[in-house]
Structures are given as C-alpha cells and as structure tokens.
C-alpha cells in the first residue's frame, strides 16, 4: 500500500469513488436518472470502502486477545471450513471458498472465532490467494507466538469461473505450512482432518 493510504477519511474516499463509479456507468451508456440505478454509485462506493476492502484499514484488524493453555492440550487444533469471501486484485471479481487453519499451541491459545476473524480481515482486500494464505499464517504465528501454524484455502475465482475460460468447476488450492507442519506426519494429520466430510 502507499504511504498516504489513510490520509483521506472513509467518507472522503466514498465521495470520490462514488463519482468514479458514476463515470463508469455513464460511459457504458446507462441512464443514472433511472430509479434502480440512481443509488448505485453511492452503494458501490460504500461497499468498497467499508465492506469488500475494509480489511485494508489496520484499525479493523482483530485484537490479539489470547489465553493461557490451561488444559495442557498438546495436539493440533484445526478450524476447518472457514468461509472466505475475497476479491481478486486482477479483475476485482469475487473469490469464494473455504479456509482450513491449524496450530499447535506452545502455551498460548486463541478464541476459536478469532481464527475466522483473521481470515475475514485479510480477505477483505484486493487479494491474490497465495498472499492471503501466507498473511493468515503469519498473523497467527505472531498472535500465538509459535511457528507451528498451517493454512489451506480452496476457492473459486469468479474471474476464471464466469468469464475468460468460463470453467465453472475449477477451484484453486493454496497452502502454507509453518514449523512442525512442515513435517510429513503432522502435515498428513492436518490434511486428513480437513478431508473428513462432516455433515451437521
Ligand atoms: Zn482474477
């Protein structure tokens, strides 16, 4: 990101982007006096700044509250099927998928939903899936003070599924294995857990 990324307030950004969206739609020949389109520039601008790309703002980063591992639980903890809604930075089209995250505690644990929040925070940016995977692992390594963190993401990219090659079935898998997860057996255990097809 640029140094001056946060010189403008959210409201100022929304104001500028609103005009840009309006310009795009007008250039395409649409009639913006139409009731259905009238509010679109403002809606899109707000959605960009506050939702889809809200994770660019460090203020939105989930707070790093951790707990002591009182139960002396020494095995890996896996949070699987975390929903990923992101946006591909090459086409600004949705990336939709699941993240599976695991760690082995070295004395510190996090609340389970914290892992979902961290995934969502980094997803809410213009992204590439490889970077997203690495950012999630790095953040959890920092928060948990251990290298023993892993993440696998399986996601569909609408830029592949709905345009260009239009392959609706393909999905993209990325992975990052830190510390003990680089060991064959630990990696195998994690991959076996996320393979389980549990239905609730
Ligand atoms: Zn793309």
Whether residue 93 sits in one domain with residue 31: no
Establish if 92 belongs to a structural domain.
yes
Query: Is 90 marked active-site?
Result: yes
Query: Each residue of 133-190: pLDDT tens digit?
Result: 999 999 999 999 999 999 999 999 999 988 888 888 899 999 999 999 999 999 999 9
Residue burial 139-172, b: 16+ Cβ < 10 Å; e: rest: bbbebbebbbbbbbbbbbbbbbbeeeeeeeeeee
Neighbouring CB atoms inside 10 A of 180's CB total 19
CA 95 / ligand 1 centre spacing (Å): 8
Residues with CB under 5 A from ligand 1 (ion): 88, 90-91, 159
Same domain flag for 162 and 95:
yes
End-to-end CA distance of the chain: 41
Indicate whether 200 belongs to any domain: no
88 is in an annotated binding site: yes
For residue 159, indicate whether it is catalytic.
Answer: yes
Domains identified in the chain, total number: 2
In a domain, 141, yes or no: yes
pLDDT for res 162: 85
For 56-87, what is each residue's pLDDT tens digit? 999 999 987 899 988 889 999 999 999 999 99
Q: Are residues 47 and 145 in the same domain?
A: no
User: 90-138, pLDDT tens digit by residue?
Assistant: 999 999 999 999 999 999 999 999 999 999 999 999 999 999 999 999 9
- Span from the CA of 159 to the centroid of ligand 1 (angstroms): 5
99 - beta bridge partners?
Answer: 82, 153
Single out the catalytic residue among 129, 139, 151, 176.
Answer: 129
pTM of the model: 0.94
Domain hosting residue 9, numbered range: 5-52
Is position 162 within any domain? Answer: yes
**Within a domain: 57:** no
Per the annotation, the verdict on 23 as an active-site residue is no
Specify the CATH number for the domain of residue 86: 3.30.1130.10
- Kindly tell me if the per-residue pLDDT of 200 is higher than 80: no
Residues 92, 180: one domain? yes
Mean pLDDT, range 8-15, rounded to an integer: 97
117 and 170 in a single domain? The answer is yes
């Amino acid at each position: 990101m640029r140094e001056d990324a946060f010189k403008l307030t959210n409201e100022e950004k929304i104001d500028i982007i609103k005009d840009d969206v309006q310009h795009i739609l007008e250039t395409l020949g649409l009639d913006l006096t139409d009731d259905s389109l009238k509010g679109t520039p403002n809606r899109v601008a707000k959605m960009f700044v506050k939702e889809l790309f809200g994770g660019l703002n460090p203020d939105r980063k989930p707070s790093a509250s951790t707990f002591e591992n009182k139960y002396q639980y020494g095995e890996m903890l896996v949070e699987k099927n975390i929903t990923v809604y992101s946006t591909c930075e090459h086409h600004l089209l949705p990336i939709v998928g699941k993240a599976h995250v695991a760690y082995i505690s070295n004395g510190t644990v996090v609340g389970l939903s914290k892992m979902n929040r961290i995934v969502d925070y980094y997803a809410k940016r213009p992204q590439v899936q490889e970077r997203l995977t690495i950012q999630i692992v790095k953040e959890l390594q920092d928060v948990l003070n251990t290298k023993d963190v892993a993440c696998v993401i399986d996601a569909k990219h609408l830029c592949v599924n709905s345009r260009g090659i239009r392959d609706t079935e393909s999905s993209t898998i990325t992975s990052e294995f830190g510390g003990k997860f680089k060991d064959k057996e630990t990696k195998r255990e994690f991959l076996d857990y996320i393979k389980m097809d549990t239905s609730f």
